[in-house]
Structure 1
């Protein structure tokens, strides 16, 4: 069962590159979409963005006129001997995750903002509470990319809950959305909160809503149904389409409203949800559960 991305020409071109391995300096010249290339990088835009791309040492720099988070850039970087994890340099030199899939000799990254990218070798990560967890591989994959972090250096908190602020940060960082200040919510300090830009990014895309028009409730807990809704809306926002569906196994799925039911069907079809008899949509979601949902969704959308 496969989904697809609604980006026509761009995906068509990239799919060619997936079939025929490319070498630096030896790829087919693009002709019908905006692009710019350097020695080891090609930057694509299906939206006509003006692009300025450059390499200096081990840093890949991309500057572009991106209007909003619905107009991503696709960046193809040939490794040419480089190893490690691709990350982006945030303010003050802090390394942040970037959405990308690794194709062996190169990576295909997706960004929604101008960025500086580097391959880095982070220290090994070990969480003592994930060894016997069914979510262990998903947590390890996301942690290696820097998308999730533990409650402490060696404790992930598999069965712990997520707040609305934490959930927003995880989702926005995982998909490399450009931060947008959330000025509409009175309970978010736009200047001091660490999560305000993530909430603003998701809100601008229609992914997340407040508890009311002016209140976000950052410390409120996320339920399984809310997680499904927001992750499903995220897949819609990045133009993912699931073409095939199977019947849901959940006896309590009749309680789901139309939008929630649709996104539940999508996430179940791509393998992001469990096969238990009941979904228990109003039960608080755990960090382990969401790690699986997020990792599978990123892979389905071509961002992991």
Structure 2
């Protein structure tokens, strides 16, 4: 993981055995934070979590006493002939996205909860409204991982706006934050809403706040400035640190201050914001615009 989180120290060459497939290079296994290994998987944590990991067929199972969303595990899984996209098995066998970066022969997964992981072949998308868009590649990346879906099978809704509930779901799913049911918002039904756990995950990390202490406003629309603010807070939550900045090119950001200005500078520096004359911070963000911002943020955080 990037930023302030203690880095895993890699030393020593892995001994070759019948149980561990031979790699094409000298693989160095993590040591200081290793808690569990299986033939194809190493699970480690900088936070000292007690871990139990196992493999059964094509399922990689990880159980740990993770305290909260701020103390994740890192899981290193060698593909060894397996292909497709890594996902986690949710309730009733539904496949959900999981945050990971692909290193070719293996993947590095970031987990905020117990999980069963599996490589699956993604369904291709046929969005007719993304073909000539500058956001097409970003949308395809998120769709392949199962993070986003189209409005219909053939239409992504690239120019549609995002509600606060939809935004919360996309962001929490992309980073695979552990869902937490919120109790303070009277306009979120914890038992019936499809988005409550996502809102609770982001709220517990200080990423998103309610319109008031008691109301979340799930159907309210997200502006560009609000999206920037919450993506910046997400980078803070995963301990990402931007070391170099550039002067903002926008003519309409002179009144940005404090946290909002800092996160705008961060997202511009990592390439999440387009180079335009104006940022238009109070305009509603579109699904296409947010797809780019989300993918670049995931890349900066090492989650894709």
Q: TM-score, normalised by structure 1?
A: 0.94
Q: Is the 8 A contact 2:58 2:118 kept in 1?
A: yes
The Cα shift of 1:25 comes to 11
The Cα shift of 1:221 comes to 0.2
The Cα shift of 1:31 comes to 3.0
Partners of 1:108 and 1:182 in 2: how far apart? 30
Runs of 4+ deviating beyond 4 Å: none
Q: Is the 8 A contact 1:4 1:242 kept in 2?
A: no
Partners of 1:296 and 1:222 in 2: how far apart? 19
Q: In the alignment, does 2:186 pair up with 1:186?
A: yes
Aligned to 1:8, the other structure's residue is in SS state: coil
Partners of 2:29 and 2:77 in 1: how far apart? 15
Q: Is the 8 A contact 2:10 2:29 kept in 1?
A: no
The Cα shift of 1:89 comes to 0.3
Q: Deviations over 1:204-261 (max 9, x none)?
A: 0000000000000000000000000000000000000000000000111112131110
The Cα shift of 1:28 comes to 3.4
Residue 71 of structure 1 corresponds to which residue in structure 2?
71
Q: In the alignment, does 2:32 pair up with 1:35?
A: no
Residue 286 of structure 2 corresponds to which residue in structure 1?
286
Partners of 2:204 and 2:107 in 1: how far apart? 28
Partners of 2:265 and 2:83 in 1: how far apart? 37
The Cα shift of 1:29 comes to 4.5
Stretches of structure 2 that go unaligned for 5 or more consecutive residues are: 15-21
Residue 120 of structure 2 corresponds to which residue in structure 1?
120
Aligned to 2:201, the other structure's residue is in SS state: helix
The Cα shift of 1:23 comes to 2.9
Partners of 1:5 and 1:284 in 2: how far apart? 30
1:5 to 3, 6, 15: 3
Q: Deviations over 1:177-206 (max 9, x none)?
A: 000001110000011100000000000000
The Cα shift of 1:32 comes to 1.8
Aligned to 2:30, the other structure's residue is in SS state: coil
Q: Is the 8 A contact 1:232 1:267 kept in 2?
A: yes
Residue 295 of structure 2 corresponds to which residue in structure 1?
295
Residue 250 of structure 1 corresponds to which residue in structure 2?
250
Bigger helix share: 1
Q: Is the 8 A contact 1:34 1:49 kept in 2?
A: no
Q: Is the 8 A contact 2:10 2:28 kept in 1?
A: no
Residue 81 of structure 1 corresponds to which residue in structure 2?
81
The Cα shift of 1:34 comes to 3.8
Residue 272 of structure 2 corresponds to which residue in structure 1?
272
Q: Is the 8 A contact 1:24 1:78 kept in 2?
A: no
Q: CA RMSD in A?
A: 1.9
Residue 223 of structure 1 corresponds to which residue in structure 2?
223
Aligned to 1:240, the other structure's residue is in SS state: coil
Q: Deviations over 1:20-72 (max 9, x none)?
A: xx939974353322421100000110000000000000000000000000001
The Cα shift of 1:4 comes to 4.1
Aligned residues: 296
Partners of 1:303 and 1:253 in 2: how far apart? 29
Partners of 2:257 and 2:284 in 1: how far apart? 18
Q: Deviations over 1:264-292 (max 9, x none)?
A: 00000000001111111000000000000
Stretches of structure 1 that go unaligned for 5 or more consecutive residues are: none
